[in-house]
Amino acid sequence: MASSAADCAPSSTDTNGDVVIKTGEVTSKGRAHKLMLSEKGLRLISTVQDKSGSSVAPVKKSKSTAGAEAETQPNKIFAVHFIKSSPKSNKRRCANIQLEVTDGSGSDVWISQIEEKRKEGKPQKLLVVINPIGGKGTAQQTYAKQVQPLFALAGIETVVKVTERAKHALDIGKTFDTSTVDGVVIVGGDGLYAELLHALVLRAQEAAGVDVNDPDAQLAPLNIRIGIVPAGTGNGVSQWLNGNVTDVETATLNIIRGETNPTGIFSVHEPDTMLASVFGKKPVLSAEIEVLRKSPQPPSEKAGEGDTADAAVSGFLAKITEGENDRLYFNPFGDSFDLFLLGEAGGFSNLKFIFGLLSRKKSAMDAEFVEGYRNIVGYRLRILEEEVKDEAAASNSNMDHHDYSRMLDIDGELLTCSVPHIDVRLHAGFIQAFSVNSVKD
C-alpha cells in the first residue's frame, strides 16, 4: 500500500539544509541516480562516475528480464513531468523523464509521496474556460490532448466551460461561484483573459462597495488565482506569465505547480465610467498626456512639469526590463510600468518598432520617434479632437474625426469614449497569476 508523506518521518537534511522526505536509487536511460524528495522538491543526483567524470550506465537489463520482473514485482517505472529553465535564453520549457526504481521499492510509493508534496498549497480544483474559436480554433482539442491529461495525472478536478458566443466569458465571470474552486484557468487568448478578468474584477468591487469609476479608488483584491493556457492568436499574456514561451504544456505545468506571482492589471476610465480592466493596451489617438508617478507623490497627484507631452498617435505600455544579449523582458510583476508613445514616424517605422518590441529586441527602444515614460503608475490622455493625425482614419468615409479620436484600441478591442479624455491606472500586484517570475532585473 502506498504510504503518505505523513507516514514517513523526516530523518535528515540535504546539503542545502532542507528536510529530506525520501531518498532512493533509480536509473534513467540506463544511468544510475539517487532520487531525493525534500521539502523543496525533487532532485535527481547522478551517483556513478566514470574516469572522465561523467555518469556511466551501471545497470543493463534485457527487455525480457525487465518484463519478467514487472509480472512479479511492484511497478518500478514512473515518469516525472517538470519545467526546466535555460539560463541562456531565460526561457522555461516543460520536459519529462522516465525513472526506474532499482532499490527494491515500488514506483507507487514515490508517486504518492511526490503527489502529497506537490499538493501543498497547490490547486485541487479548477474552473477551465475554453474559447473554441480563439487563435486557430483548436482550443478544445488542445485542452483534450495536452492539458486535461496533465491535470488528470496531477489529480486536479476540473469544471469545464466552453464559451458559446462572444462575451460569454463575461457572464461566466459574473455568475460562477469561484469559492468552489482553487483557481480559474482560461484556454484562449488575451481577449478571453481580459474578458473573464474584467468580470471578476467588477464583481469583487461590487461586493466590496468600491466605486470602480473612480480612477484613484483602491480596488478590493481578487481572491482567486488566475492562469492562462495559450490558445489565442497573440498570446502575449501567456508568454509574459509562463517564462517567455507560448507553450501549452509549460503553461499547464505552471498551473499544476501552483506558483503564483502578484501581477498588475490596468484600468481604463473615462470620467465617471470604468471602461475596462485589462492587462495592456494600445491607445490609438492623438492626445496630450499627463503622467502619474508613484511615491513620493500619491498616485492621485499630477506629475511634475515636463511630464506633459502631446501629439502621440499610438502608445504601448508594459514594464520593460532590459536584459543581456539585446533582449527585452516584459514584466507584469512590477509596481510601475513604462509607457512608450509613438510619434509620427510613418507606418513602416512604427511597425518596425512594434515588431522589434514584440521580438524583444533591446535595439527597438533606440528609435527616435519613441518617447518613453519610465516607472509610472498611471496617466491621463486628453484627446485632441481637432488634430486627428491618422490619414487612414481621416480618409475613412464611414467615420468622422470626432468618432475616431474617441476610439480606443485595447488589445484589439475597440471602445469609444463619450468624452475626450481617459485615465489609465496600474493596479500593481492585483491578481495572483499562476506563473513563473523569470524576469531579469
Ligand X SMILES: Nc1ncnc2c1ncn2[C@@H]1O[C@H](COP(=O)(O)OP(=O)(O)OP(=O)(O)O)[C@@H](O)[C@H]1O
Residues in contact with ligand X by the rule CB under 6 A: 131-135, 163-168, 188-192, 195, 232-235, 412
The nearest distance, CB 351 to ligand X, in angstroms, is: 17
68-85 burial code (b ≥16 CB/10 A, e <16): eeeeeeeebebebeebee
Sort strands 183-188 and 225-230 into parallel, antiparallel or unpaired: parallel
The nearest distance, CB 193 to ligand X, in angstroms, is: 7
- Alpha-carbon gap, residue 419 to 404, rounded angstroms: 12
- Alpha-carbon gap, residue 259 to 393, rounded angstroms: 45
The nearest distance, CB 238 to ligand X, in angstroms, is: 8
- Determine the 3-state secondary structure of 156 from DSSP: coil
**Smaller CB distance to ligand X: residue 9 or 414?**
414
The nearest distance, CB 432 to ligand X, in angstroms, is: 21
**Smaller CB distance to ligand X: residue 84 or 167?**
167
**Smaller CB distance to ligand X: residue 373 or 434?**
434
The nearest distance, CB 221 to ligand X, in angstroms, is: 25
DSSP line for 180-234: GSSEEEEEE-HHHHHHHHHHHHHHHHHHHT--TTSTT--PPP--SEEEEEE-SSS
- Determine the 3-state secondary structure of 7 from DSSP: helix
Question: Are the C-beta atoms of 127 and 161 separated by less than 8 Å?
Answer: yes
- Determine the 3-state secondary structure of 150 from DSSP: helix
Cα–Cα separations (whole angstroms), residue 256 to 24, 93, 135, 326: 25, 14, 24, 32
The nearest distance, CB 427 to ligand X, in angstroms, is: 21
* Conformational region of residue 353, where left means phi above 0, alpha means psi within -120 to 50, and beta covers everything else: alpha
**Smaller CB distance to ligand X: residue 236 or 258?**
236
**Smaller CB distance to ligand X: residue 233 or 336?**
233
**Smaller CB distance to ligand X: residue 20 or 415?**
415
Grid cell of 245 as nine digits: 514561451
Residue whose CB is nearest to ligand X in the complex, by number = 189
The nearest distance, CB 140 to ligand X, in angstroms, is: 10
The nearest distance, CB 53 to ligand X, in angstroms, is: 47
**Smaller CB distance to ligand X: residue 131 or 286?**
131
**Smaller CB distance to ligand X: residue 192 or 376?**
192
Grid cell of 71 as nine digits: 509480472
